[in-house]
Structure formats: C-alpha cells, structure tokens
C-alpha cells in the first residue's frame, strides 16, 4: 500500500498534486484531510496550506497475486507463480516440484475453487471487471486435450451404437469444450442435461 502526505493551497489542489506525483488516477486514491487550509492576515501573511494523506489502492491484479502467494504459503507449499496476459485475460500459473497435485485436485476442482477466490479478491473493489485464470503446470491445456480426445471417441461410439452417451458431470467451461469439439461432426449432436453439480453433456446420434 502506497501512502503519502501532500499539501496544496486548497484540498482540491493537494489532491491533483497527489495524483500527478503518484502517477495514478483520481479513482485509484482515497484521502484524509489532516489540515484544512487557512488564510493568513488580510489574506496575505501567515496562511497555511491544506494537508492530506493519500492512499493509493492496490491494482486488482496485484492484490489477487499477493493473495494467491499468501494462500499457497499458508498451505505449506513451495510454488513459483508467474503471471501473463492473454487475449484480455490474466493468467496466474503455478510451478513446483512437489504438492502441485494438491492444488489441482480431482479433475481440477481445487484449482477451480482457488480461481474463484482469486477472482473474488481481484474484483472486490475494482471499478471494472478483471478476469483471472488460474493454472498449474499447464493443467488447463492438458485437460482440454484429454476432453477433446474423449469427445471424439464417445462421438464415434454414439454414432456406432446409435444410442445417446451421457458423460460425467462437468463445469461449464469443460462442457463447452465437448460441445465445440463435436460441433461440426456429422451424425452426432450434443446437449446438456441436469442441474447444478450434476449438469453433464449428452452425446447423441442425429
């Protein structure tokens, strides 16, 4: 957290000065008036400037990154976290020799839960929505490839036996991968069934 005292002839001047000195924007700061401006004798001598204490709000991404670092440390894991931007979305990727599996969890459920918390922290006081995807040792890409292979195999099965094939429950992102993979496949169609955690994709012959 960046904190600084700034003075000016008026409170407004002090605020503008703080924004310029800290190289930020008005909506990224909060301030407390420590001393009101006072005019001197006959408006000329002995006047006092306004003094404010300015706090710069942390950037949403930086706040989320610090939260994740602390969370991983509290879990007793040694992991390196790298961040990058891809197509307007921030990616936080974790790397480590041991314990990364516990951060991923069964079918990525722990990773999804951590991702939810990270996004919650990032967007708590954000003026615009920030989207952060959490990954670990390239799990997201590996899972995507696995789902694509599964979709192709079960699509062929549904077409061969001429019966619908229900898949296990998946989150919305994974269901979307199945739908997209078979979108242009002749002889099969996909749709989702179920509610909540039981929602799943069904592959059926046309």
State the total domains in the chain: 3
Q: Which of 70-74, 84-88, 135-139, 148-152 has the highest mean pLDDT?
A: 148-152
CATH code, 171: 3.30.1370.50
- Average pLDDT estimate for 189-199: 93
Range with the lowest mean pLDDT among 16-30, 111-125, 140-154?
16-30
Tell me how far apart the alpha carbons of residues 72 and 130 are, in angstroms, rounded to a whole number: 21
Range with the lowest mean pLDDT among 54-58, 174-178, 185-189?
54-58
The pTM score is 0.71
Residue 41 has a pLDDT of 58
pLDDT at 183 exceeding the cut of 80: yes
Residue 189 has a pLDDT of 95
Instruction: Provide the domain limits for residue 74.
Output: 60-137
Both 132 and 149 in a single domain? no
E strands present in 36-157: 50-56, 80-86, 89-95, 132-136
Which residue among 137, 157, 190 closes a domain? Answer: 137
Which residue among 81, 109, 137 closes a domain? Answer: 137
Both 107 and 171 in a single domain? no
Q: Which of 94-98, 104-108, 175-179 has the highest mean pLDDT?
A: 175-179
Both 71 and 131 in a single domain? yes
Residue 145 has a pLDDT of 96
Residue 27 has a pLDDT of 81
Both 160 and 196 in a single domain? yes
Which residue among 106, 137, 168 closes a domain? Answer: 137
Both 71 and 133 in a single domain? yes
Q: Coil, strand, or helix at residue 20?
A: helix
Q: Coil, strand, or helix at residue 82?
A: strand
| Residue 170, C-beta contacts closer than 8 angstroms, at least 6 positions apart | 107, 178, 199, 200, 201
Both 149 and 192 in a single domain? yes
Both 116 and 173 in a single domain? no
The percentage of the chain sitting over the pLDDT mark of 70, rounded to a whole number, equals 96
Q: Coil, strand, or helix at residue 114?
A: helix
Both 94 and 123 in a single domain? yes
Residue 157 has a pLDDT of 96
pLDDT in tens, 29-72: 888 899 888 876 555 555 788 898 998 888 889 899 999 999 99
Both 82 and 148 in a single domain? no
Both 93 and 158 in a single domain? no
Residue 148 has a pLDDT of 97
CATH code, 92: 3.30.300.20
Confidence at 1, pLDDT banded by 50, 70, 90: low
Residue 79 has a pLDDT of 87
Range with the lowest mean pLDDT among 45-49, 164-168, 182-186?
45-49
Both 25 and 37 in a single domain? yes
Both 128 and 69 in a single domain? yes
């Amino acid at each position: 957290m960046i904190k600084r005292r700034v003075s000016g002839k008026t409170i407004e001047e002090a605020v503008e000065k703080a924004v310029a000195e800290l190289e930020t924007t008005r909506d990224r700061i909060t301030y407390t008036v420590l001393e009101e401006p006072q005019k001197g004798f006959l408006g000329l001598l002995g006047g006092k400037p306004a003094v404010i204490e300015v706090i710069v709000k942390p950037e949403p991404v930086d706040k989320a990154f610090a939260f994740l670092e602390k969370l991983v440390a509290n879990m007793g894991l040694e992991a390196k976290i790298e961040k990058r931007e891809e197509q307007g979305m921030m990616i936080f990727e974790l790397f480590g020799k041991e314990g990364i599996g516990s951060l991923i969890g069964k079918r990525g459920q722990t990773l999804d839960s951590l991702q939810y918390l990270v996004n919650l922290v990032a967007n708590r006081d954000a003026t615009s929505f920030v989207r952060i995807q959490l990954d670990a040792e390239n799990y997201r890409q590996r899972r995507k490839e696995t789902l694509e292979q599964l979709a192709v195999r079960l699509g062929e099965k549904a077409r061969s036996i001429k019966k619908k094939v229900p898949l296990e429950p998946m989150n919305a992102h994974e269901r979307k991968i199945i739908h997209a993979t078979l979108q242009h496949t002749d002889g099969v169609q996909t749709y989702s069934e179920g509610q909540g955690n039981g929602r799943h994709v069904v592959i059926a012959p046309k």
